[in-house]
Structure 1
């Protein structure tokens, strides 16, 4: 099975490679930080231009003989209009298995971010997902300030350490379920989990089973079309 992975930052590649290593899945990675950069900083980049760029990127990836496409950037997911696409292979949105896990929780929750630019798109999609599935969630959003810049500068260890420190400071309360919303935060959350034996939710944990199922569907659909 062959899975295309679309990332907005190269740091996400290692996370996907490591979690899917035990499976017989060929991974093909595409990294496009430019689109998110233009959407964030170029006020002249119109919605029509954004939609056209996303469509072109997805159509190109779909022609690379893959069984499914995984999108690891929540903002990219928010910009995608699947009705415009001409292909039928599955598109796996990294946040949907995570949303499903969140919606299964009855306790109040805290979701942590480091990148403020991803908060609105992610929370809008989570709210819509919960509404579509008749779920109610009690969520507090916290942005760990002054951290994402470290990741952009390539200071991965310093970035993860600040996240781990923050998690240690808030997790002992025990009154709320804690999760991290971004792939780049997974390493720190797993480190803290090992240190204190307490579960911290993240987008990677529920993803593997979902990917394997979707790849199987995609492979069957591809075979039938041929």
Structure 2
């Protein structure tokens, strides 16, 4: 079994490898680099890149970039299911009846992700029970491969927020999964990441 993984940044490979590390599933990583200045990608280019890697043993396509999830709006390519990495977390947010804080580190993905969150709330007749926070001046660190500095910046900011604000904490971008719940003393506040929810979902979907 193979899964094609479409990334905007090389660093996201790590999370996919971690999800499937105890399986014999083969991952085909495709990195379509996109500069933060241009912040654009063409649907035809992305789909052509993915289509070129589809073989008879490919069971799914996972998109780890929120921007690319928006560009490729279809649920399949050449008959192969397309899964968006952020979707399991959004479903968890909708199911959570407590107050929530949704954290972003990349301001350019906020609008795209929140469109999906708001649409999911509308479908489920839910009233808004969350606040959105963009952590300033940190995303450029991960783009320049300063992973540990990025991690420490996130931990410092979130530790300042924990206890001062009510609600469960949701880290809305895959790159923010560089931190784990063990990094915090959150008390009764739950912390969920794109990785934690995607791992649970994908390990159920892709059973060998």
Q: Please indicate, yes or no, whether the TM-score normalized by the shorter chain is above 0.5.
A: yes
1:78 alignment counterpart: 70
2:58 alignment counterpart: 66
- 2:114 and 2:54 mapped to 1: Cα distance? 28
Residues 181-220 of structure 1: pairs in structure 2 closer than 5 A: 181-193=172-184, 195-196=185-186, 199-215=190-206
TM-score by length of structure 2 reads: 0.87
- 1:132 and 1:50 mapped to 2: Cα distance? 29
2:33 alignment counterpart: 33
User: Residue deviations 1:148-170, cap 9 Å, x none?
Assistant: 11111111111100100011101
- More strand by percentage: 2
Q: Which runs of 5+ in 1 are unaligned?
A: 220-226
- 2:161 and 2:69 mapped to 1: Cα distance? 30
1:100 alignment counterpart: 91
2:108 alignment counterpart: 117
1:4 and 2:4 are equivalent in the alignment = yes
1:168 alignment counterpart: 159
Q: 4+ residue stretches of structure 1 with deviation over 6 A? A: none
- More helix by percentage: 1
Please provide the CA RMSD for this pair. Answer: 2.4
**Partner of residue 135 from structure 2, selected from 128, 144, 158:** 144
**Partner of residue 130 from structure 1, selected from 109, 121, 127:** 121
Count of matched residue positions in the alignment of Structure 1 and Structure 2 = 207
The structure with more radius of gyration: 1
